[in-house]
Each structure stands twice: as structure tokens, then as C-alpha cells.
Amino acid sequence: MNELIDAFRQAPEVSAADVHFADLMHRLDGRGEPLVWLAAAMASQATGEGHVCLDLEARAGEPFAVDGQPPLTLPALETFRERLESSPVVGRPGDFRPLILVDDGRLYLQRYWTYEQDLARALRDRAAAVPEGLDEARLKAGLARLFAHNDDQETDWQRVAAAVALLGRFAVISGGPGTGKTSTVVRLLALILEQSGGYPPRIALAAPTGKAAARMQESIRNALEGLPVDEDVREAMPDEARTLHRLLGVRPHSLQFRHHRDNPLPVDVLIVDEASMVDISMMARLVDALPPEARLILLGDRDQLASVEAGAVLSELGQGGERFSDPMTAALSAVTGMAVPAEPGEGIDDCVVQLQHSYRFGADSGIGRLARAINAGDGEAAWGALTGEADDVRWMDSHGSPCAAVAEAAVNGYRPCLEAMRDGAPAEAVLAAFEQYRVLTALRRGGAGVEALNGCIETALARAGLIRPRGRDYPGRPVMILHNDPVTRLYNGDVGLMLPDEEGVLWACFPSTEGVRRLHPAQLSAHESVFAMTVHKSQGSEFDAVLFVLPPENTPLLARELLYTGVTRARKEAVLLGERGALEAGCRRRVRREGGLARALRG
């Protein structure tokens, strides 16, 4: 057992924080039980990898090895159970102990168990609530008018989604790019306002990042054009989207928010976009801060990568989509005026809708075909889509060294933005041009990682005369914020450009819902250059063209969720660079996040 613990201490994937937590649990256990140390280290490591809990049943009895050493075998599940159940630091559901062990072998850190249980309880209660005073005749007429453009569809899932949101206090609307999530939301907001009887509800729009919030706000404003509603409804539409941190009220130098159960958000309707990016901690705090009578609507794509932090909330919530209880099916058919094909469901299933018709990627779209093949796990079909006749997808072979190919492509991709800066275009125009193209990758380090690719691209742009990188900050340098900073109101993942003003003074310029925000470079918290960015950081953004650099096929991160997310950041053109084996390996592999939210919601 000591050999196993020593191996865990040396393993590169086990962090110093994991070891510190395991040491603390071992001391508090007080019995010198090595399996307590091992289980605590494994549970802490699991949360660092995005899991809400450790699945002991899956890990027990499996081999564990550190590079260069012979593999060791983890103890059997029953051995883990016997040693953990007698420990004073391990409790059962309902206990207040540092570690919680569930009957099926899941082991939680206490705070993640609490997040999961509190969130499940709150969502079940909200799903069971029925809004008061709903005028079903007005709702039916509004659905027919606002979704008349979809009358040619056998089942208008946009209309169904809007009806689900109006018939209850909780809705999850999932769909891939171009399936009309924003269009649906604008119309369901109109329906909510039409039901208000002259007293508009307080509506809040939010997203995980500043970029996603700005895009949500712009999309909703654009979708308002030509909407068949009265002027008072149009004027009552919300026109500002905020980040979740700003909505909840970040307190500088504190982990707590201003809004919580005892100081709830002053809203009647909350709509959260890009919900796949929201981890279980943030979602639990958000729902805790929402008044019980408020309506909550989550938007996102359940097939995208899950949040960077622990949890896959949208994926676990979105396991339905075409399952409704008999009463809900009858209610939906009555208000939509159409048959709603659905399998039998219950409880939370009545709140989930999957949009299925893509308005952006038609049957002939290479991006659409490629995304569908990836989601189906069909590497051969994905290869066929990339190498076929579609002009919106293309394959580039890396020949083992991506740097030169990426640099050449990036010079062409970023040229319009940097030439606009050189010609004195307004900051808004330069920032908009920068958002037309991006290089994406899965990794931070290595030849196909962010660090190497940013260096290659910067060198190539300098040789082409498009930038002059003298010192760290220079005109045309794109930067990404790495940590939340409530003082500057810039948050992890926000992207801006270093641009000179008319007098040649350099400013860090960031797009915002109010226009362009300018800060002195010295005001910025930790940040890095971002000619290339990870696929994780690209979530919530879309670009006209994307160059996606695939990692080697043995990279654990390479999975269909990563491929799908990277490909669908592109609106008009997706170019993949790498080896065919990596593409096919990624299609075969799935990201598996351990957690019990789906069971807690539906069990």
C-alpha cells in the first residue's frame, strides 16, 4: 500500500493540493489508515479533472502506474468500502463529514455533494411548480403568430420549446449552432410579456463570459427586427446581458456573492445562455439566489464540451429533449396546435427540449455533415466530410509539425484585422475584424499547443510586416484575461486587442455591451497573447473561419466533444490540421464526467 501511495505522490496528474488534502484527511482519520489517504487524494484529483465525484466502482481494482515504473493495482471496491465506512472523516448522505460515500460507490468531497443535492432539490421544486394566471388562449394565439415562419415543419421544436418555457417555471432549451436558440428566446420573451397584462416582469439575461453576454445581447437585438409584436412589447424587451459574476455581484477578495438565498436576485425571469459552460458550483449558487417564483430558462448545446470546472450540468439536465409525461404532451399539443411526438417521460423531462432543425447548416453543408459525423462517433464519415466536395470544410495534413502551416494560414487570416488597425480604422471595426478568424487547439503545451503556436504566429506576422512586437505590449497584440477581476470588470476568457488611439497611446480595448472599453495595459490582471486559443476558451464565441489544430491521437483530451466544439465555432469555414488517426481517435472517444445530478433529478 505504501508503494501505491508513493506512486500517487509522484504522479504528474496528482497536484500538490490533492496531496495536501489527502494528508489532512489522513491526520484527521487518526487511525493511520492508508486507504483514507488514497481515496481522499483520488477524490480531490477527480474534481480537478472536472468530475463532481470519484467513481470508486470504476476505479477499484484497476492498474495505476507512473511513467517508468511497473503498474500497481488499486484495492478492490469492497476493501475501499470497509476501510472508508469506519473512518470518522467519511460519512453517508445526510452526514456532515469531509467525504461522503454513496451506496453505489461514488465518493464526494462534502461541498460538491452539497452543491449537487441542493441544485437537484431546487430544480425538482421549480420543475413541479405551475405558473399562476396563464392565459392559454392568448398563449396559443401568440405561438401561432410568432412561429408562423415554421409552419412548413412537421414538428416545430422551437414552438414546443417556447411552450415548455411558458407552461412551467423551468426550461432547458438545447440545440446545436444555427438551430435558432436566440430566435426562440426572443419569441418566448414576447409571449411572457404578452401574458403580463401591462405589468412587465423583471427580466435578466446572463452568460458565463463577457464575450458570450455581448453576443447574446447583440443576437437578441438583431432577432427583434420584424418581430410581429405590439410596440409596448418591443419596448419592454430586455436590452442588456450580463456575466453571471456581475449578475450575482462579485465581492472583491471574497468567494461569496452579494446575491444568495437571503438576498435574492430582483428578477422574475432569468435566461442564461451558453449553459454548457456553467459548472456545478456556479449553477448551484445561481439557483440559490433566484426567487422560488421566478422562471429560469437555460440555453446551450448539450453536445459541447462541459465546463472547465467540475460538473457537466447541461449535459445531465439535457438527457431528455423528446420525452414528456402524458399530461405535458397533451398540454403542448393543445397550445401548439400540433402533434408532439415524444417518448414517455416524467418530472424534469417535461422541462427539456432539444432543437433539431439547423437553419445555418443545411443538408449540403460540410460543417453540418462534419459535426453530425463527429457526434455520431463516425470517424470515417467525418473524414469523408472533410475530404469531399464541400467548400466550407477542408483538411490539412500537419506532417508531424504544425507550426509552419499554421503560421502561413494565420498571416492570411489575421491580415484584414491588422491592416484595418494600420489604416486607422475605429477600434470597434478592428475588434470586429479580429473576431472573424481564430486558430484553435486542444493543448497549452507541446508543438500543437497554445504557447508554441502563439510564438509561431507572432513571428510570422512580424515577418509579414503586420505587427512590430517590441516589448510585451504592442499594437495588434490580442490578449486574453486569465482570472476574474471585478475591479476592471474583466473576467476569465475575455479577449481584447492592444490598439493605439489617435495620439499613438496604446490601450487594451475590449468589446462590451456598451461598446468598446479601454484600459491602460498596466491595469490588466494576468493575461496572455491569444492569436491561438484553446477550444475550451473559445466556447461562447463564433468566428467566420476557424483553423483547428488537432493534438496527437494519444492525447486524453481528444474526444468527440472537443472536436464538435472546435468545428462548430466556425460559421463559414472550418479547416482541420493534423493526422487522420487523431481525427478518428477523437470521434471514438467520449468525455465522461462523473456525477449524480441526473440520478438525483430523475431518481
The residue length of the chain stands at: 603
Tell me what percent of the residues of the chain surpass a pLDDT of 90.
41
Answer whether 297's CB lies under 8 Å from 267's CB: no
Average pLDDT (355-379) is 83
Query: Mind listing the pLDDT tens digit for each residue in 159-176?
Result: 999 999 999 999 999 988
Between 455 and 61, the higher pLDDT residue: 455
Q: For residue 465, is it left (φ>0), alpha (ψ between -120 and 50) or beta?
A: left
How far is it, in rounded angstroms, from Cα 7 to Cα 74?
A: 11
Chain position carrying cell 438527457: 319
- Whether residue 492 is predicted with pLDDT greater than 90 in this model: the reply is no
Residue 503: its pLDDT value, please? 85
* Cα–Cα distance for residue pair 373/354, rounded to 1 Å: 18
Residue 603 has pLDDT above 70, yes or no: no
**% of the chain beyond a pLDDT of 70:** 97
pLDDT digits (tens, 9 = 90+) for 440-484: 998 888 877 888 899 999 999 999 999 888 888 899 999 998 887
For the chain, give the mean pLDDT.
Answer: 87
321/457: higher pLDDT: 457
pLDDT, greater one: 485 or 385: 385
CA nearest to 306, candidates 333, 331, 330, 274: 274
134 pLDDT tier (thresholds 50, 70, 90) = confident
Enter the C-alpha cell of residue 461. 506576422
Instruction: Go through 323-337 and write b for each residue having 16 or more CB atoms within 10 A of its CB, e for each that does not.
Output: bbeeebbebbbebbe
Return d(Cα 406, Cα 398) in angstroms, integer. Answer: 9
In angstroms, the first-to-last Cα distance of the chain is: 37
583-599 mean pLDDT? 88
When comparing pLDDT for 545 and 391, which is higher?
545
Say which residue the cell 456545478 belongs to.
280
Alpha helix segments (H runs only) across 293-378: 313-317, 326-336, 366-375
Of the candidate ranges 68-77, 382-391, 561-570, the one whose mean pLDDT is the lowest: 68-77
| Higher pLDDT among residues 364 and 78, named by residue | 78
Asked whether the predicted pLDDT for residue 84 surpasses 90, the reply is yes
- Distance between CA atoms of 504 and 539, rounded to whole angstroms? 33
Which pLDDT value is given to residue 39? 93
SS3 of residue 443 by DSSP: strand
The whole-number average pLDDT for the span 26-49 is 91
Q: What stretch of H or E contains 295?
A: strand 295-300
Residue owning grid cell 496528474:
13
Q: What is the pLDDT of residue 563?
A: 92
Set of cell numbers at residue 389: 466536395
Confidence bin at 553 (pLDDT 50/70/90): confident
Residues 6+ apart with CB under 8 A from 1: 34, 35, 38, 75
Query: Following DSSP, what letter does each residue of 119-134 receive, concatenated?
Result: HHHHHHHHHH---TT-
C-alpha cell at 316: 445531465
The string of pLDDT tens digits covering residues 5-16 is: 887 888 888 889
Judged by average pLDDT, the poorest of 44-53, 61-70, 121-130, 562-571 is 61-70
**Angle, to 10 degrees, between the axis of helix 181-194 and the axis of helix 157-167?**
40
Q: Cα dist. 307→57, 91, 117, 240, 445 in Å?
A: 24, 28, 19, 24, 20
pLDDT score, position 322: 74
Q: What is the pLDDT of residue 362?
A: 66
CA quadruple 177, 178, 182, 185: dihedral positive or negative?
A: negative
DSSP per residue, 391-458: SSEEEEE-TT--HHHHHHHHHHHHHHHHHHHHTT--HHHHHHHHTTEEEEESBSSSTTBHHHHHHHHH
Q: Answer whether residue 272 shows pLDDT above 80.
A: yes
Average pLDDT on 286-308 reads: 89
Q: Of the ranges 161-165, 183-187, 188-192, 235-239, which one carries the lowest mean pLDDT score?
A: 235-239
Instruction: Write out the three cell numbers for 531.
Output: 492569436
Residue type, 121: R
Report residue 415's pLDDT band, with 50, 70 and 90 as the boundaries.
very high
Residues 6 or more apart whose Cβ sits within 8 Å of residue 413: 437, 438, 439, 545, 547
Neighbours of 125 (CB within 10 A): 13
Mapping DSSP to helix (H, G, I), strand (E, B) and coil, where does residue 257 land? Answer: strand
Grid cell locating 541: 464565441
